[in-house]
Chain A
């Protein structure tokens, strides 16, 4: 169960962040993980109700996506918020699913690259709305969100290669495979509906957004199975 004893070598980006430490409290050596059997103090009904509210919010946002423009943009942010909130709530309320703690010193770079991805995504959308994405700069703006995305992939690969224990590796790989499979199923279904004129155009950057939402859900589901 114990991660391989690989302390900071004193070099590299990740270790430099480690020595700053305090931001996430992820120091090396890591604190002992919380007991997986400890349960949340709130009654089960309350927890399930709050999760239900989050699911309702997400469904309402998903429905609102079909409305005209200012509302649909609002709905998109509401939906992504609801998904993040939902996965966080499940992790808080059911401590046994808290598998993320073992991301260790890779958590900050991963969060950083995912935040940069979101910033680049929304930045590109805003620049497009402002009409600043025309011409050759458009190529640069379009490529920008892919850079932190590649960064996240590389951080995840480094984590799997260097620091993940066998269980964590299996859980990460399995949830990524599930999320990828579900995303491909969705794109395929939507694509054919679109080809035959039964569904609206889908801009392809939504594919990656859907993947990340499903990755967080799959992480929770798979984590629960390996509890």
Chain B
């Protein structure tokens, strides 16, 4: 086995490891968040404390995402202008998302608006996520590195196929009363998570 092959193999494992670390980290953050919310509720904390806890949680998840994207870029050796712009725009969209989501949740919970304002507040957190989807599309268009573009496109297609299969099975399980209800905004985060395995799958071909 040649050294290049060895290096490729190591890098793949490192990528998989970084991805798993991200998933585990986000999972841990979610767990800690819910535990602390329960703790605060049990101790009759006010809305300010709950909102603050949510903001800290959002910042932690954002930080983990940023570190992952930096590490990932370092490992894959992608330094194209488009990839940098993608990371920057994506993290911007995510920061706006976290802020909008927490604001909207707090506003809807404590102000209880109705009518058009309620709809506007409910749609508001979706907008930065839609922007993030658009950012991915713009990246695919702007990327000049053919290899990277082919890789990311294939990963996106695998992730799309995966999300459709998962959604179909889960939808029926839910209908039959065999699985709890999952709200449909979960599709995008799950799609983003599936990009990781999708990339590994696509990368395998180009070893």
Contacts and interface: CB of A to CB of B under 8 A. Distances in A.
A67 to B, nearest CB: 20
B174 A204 contact: yes
Interface of A: 121, 124, 128, 133-134, 138-139, 141-143, 145-146, 149-150, 153, 173, 176-177, 180-181, 183-185, 187-196, 198, 201-208, 211
Contacts of A176: 157, 160
A138 B173 CA distance: 7
The 3 lowest CB-CB distance pairs between A and B, nearest first, are: A191-B185, A205-B171, A142-B172
5 contacts: A142-B169, A146-B169, A188-B130, A196-B108, A208-B167
Q: How extensive is the interface on chain B, given as a class?
A: 35 or more
B50 interface: no
B173 A139 contact: yes
B7 to A, nearest CB: 27
Nearest to A133: B176
A149 B134 CA distance: 26
B29 to A, nearest CB: 20
Interface string B109-122: 00000000011011
Given A173-B157, A180-B160, A205-B167, A187 B172 contact: no
A180 to B, nearest CB: 4
B86 interface: no
B168 A208 contact: yes
B30 interface: no
Which residue among B137, B160, B164, B175 has the maximum number of chain A CB atoms within 10 Å of its CB?
A: B164
A216 to B, nearest CB: 14
Given A187-B188, A207-B184, A146 B122 contact: no
Contacts of A133: 172, 175-176
Contacts of B140: 177
Contacts of B169: 142-143, 145-146
Given A180-B156, A204-B182, A187 B187 contact: yes
Nearest to B170: A204
A202 B133 contact: no
A195 B126 CA distance: 11
B1 interface: no
A208 B164 CA distance: 5
A176 B156 CA distance: 10
B48 interface: no
B87 interface: no
B191 interface: yes
A173 B157 CA distance: 8
B176 A128 contact: yes
B156 A207 contact: no
A173 B153 contact: yes
B183 A124 contact: no
Contact of B118 (A124, A149, A153, A198): A198
A107 B130 CA distance: 33
A188 B175 CA distance: 20
Contacts of A190: 184-185
Given A196-B104, A203-B175, 20 more contacts: A124-B172, A133-B172, A142-B175, A143-B172, A149-B164, A149-B168, A150-B161, A177-B140, A177-B156, A180-B160, A180-B191, A188-B133, A190-B185, A192-B122, A194-B185, A196-B118, A196-B121, A203-B174, A204-B187, A211-B164
B196 interface: no
B79 to A, nearest CB: 24
Contacts of B153: 173, 177
Contact of A193 (B119, B130, B160): B119
A184 to B, nearest CB: 5
B94 interface: no
B181 interface: yes
B178 A138 contact: yes
B163 interface: yes
Nearest to A143: B169
